[in-house]
Amino acid sequence: MRIYVLSRRKLILTVLFLFTVGGFLAITQHSLTIPSLVRAPGTYYMANTQEKVVALTFDDGPDPIDTPDVLDILKDKRVRATFFVLGKAAESNPHLLKRLAKEGHEIGNHSFNHDYQQRHLVEDMNKTDQVVFTATGNHTYFYRPPGGFVSKNQLETTKKNRHVVALWSVDSKDWRNPGVKQIVDNVMGDVFPGAIILLHDGGEKRSQTVKALGPIIDNLRAHGYRLATLSELRTLDSDLK
């Protein structure tokens, strides 16, 4: 057995280093959440179920070019999904909100203008909710913070504002534009029963997502999965029964 003896100076440096790393991890875990790395308690990012059911979610729309293409594919394949709309984009495209609702999709709230810091969290959430309500007659219930970043305070504020913070458990990484096949592989590589899958139908050109969507649905079904909205997924969650 080897015994390591540290000099006093080295010992102090080591302790300082451990405190710094530990402190950083504590801050990361408790005040800032990156869903692919840390699953924050109190947010909804998956359903606890053995059933092979998953939810497709689309952020940053509605977009006048890509959202109709996404909707055509979903309609063709008889899939209902959840769209986290930006108030700003929704305001310019009320006809797309109407189409989303008419075709049975769920509409979630993705803030008004994608301010990552969410300086006007409640105001922006309510503005977006109002746009959705005016076009569809439905209020939003799930709130997805821009980038998935949410502090404990923001989590509490969202709850008080009668919304549930919804994140995701499978990131298609379509926002990186990695190529159609890679987007499909990212989903299929990480999928599991009860997963919430992150995709985008707005914000920037989403032609790769549009091309990947059909193959994603076909692949999921070939592996025995069925697709549901977030609210439907929630009804299967044994943690909530």
Residue 171 near Zn ion by CB under 5 A: no
- Tell the smallest beta-carbon distance from residue 106 to Zn ion (Å): 17
How far is residue 35's CA from residue 206's CA, in Å, rounded to a whole number?
22
Residue 59 near Zn ion by CB under 5 A: yes
Span from 51-59, 124-132, 167-175, 184-192 in contact with Zn ion (CB under 5 A): 51-59
Cβ distance to Zn ion smaller for residue 49 or 140: 140
With CB under 5 A as the rule, give the number of residues binding Zn ion: 2
DSSP 75-87: HHTT---EEEE-H
Helical ranges in 110-229 per DSSP H = 121-136, 152-160, 180-190, 207-222
CA angle 131, 136, 142 (to 5 degrees): 70
Span from 54-62, 100-108, 123-131, 150-158 in contact with Zn ion (CB under 5 A): 54-62
Span from 8-16, 28-36, 60-68, 161-169 in contact with Zn ion (CB under 5 A): 60-68
Cβ distance to Zn ion smaller for residue 35 or 49: 35
Cβ distance to Zn ion smaller for residue 49 or 148: 148
The interface with Zn ion within residues 81-110 (CB under 5 A) comprises none
Query: Catalytic residue numbers?
Result: 59, 200
The residue within the footprint of Zn ion, chosen from 35, 57, 60, 89 (CB under 5 A), is: 60
Residue 124 near Zn ion by CB under 5 A: no
- Tell the smallest beta-carbon distance from residue 144 to Zn ion (Å): 7
Cβ density class 211-236: b for 16+ within 10 Å, e for less: bbbebbbebbeeeebebbbbebbbeb
CA 102 to chain centre: 22
CB-facing half-sphere around the CA of 103: CA atoms within 13 A: 23
The DSSP symbol for 229 reads -
Torsion of CA 45, 48, 53, 59, to 10 degrees: -10
Cβ distance to Zn ion smaller for residue 59 or 185: 59
> Nearest to Zn ion by Cβ — which residue?
59
Structure tokens at 65: 């070019």
Residue among 108, 86, 61 nearest 206 (CA)? 61
Span from 55-63, 117-125, 126-134, 173-181 in contact with Zn ion (CB under 5 A): 55-63
Cβ distance to Zn ion smaller for residue 49 or 172: 172
Residues lying near Zn ion in the complex (CB under 5 A) are found at: 59-60
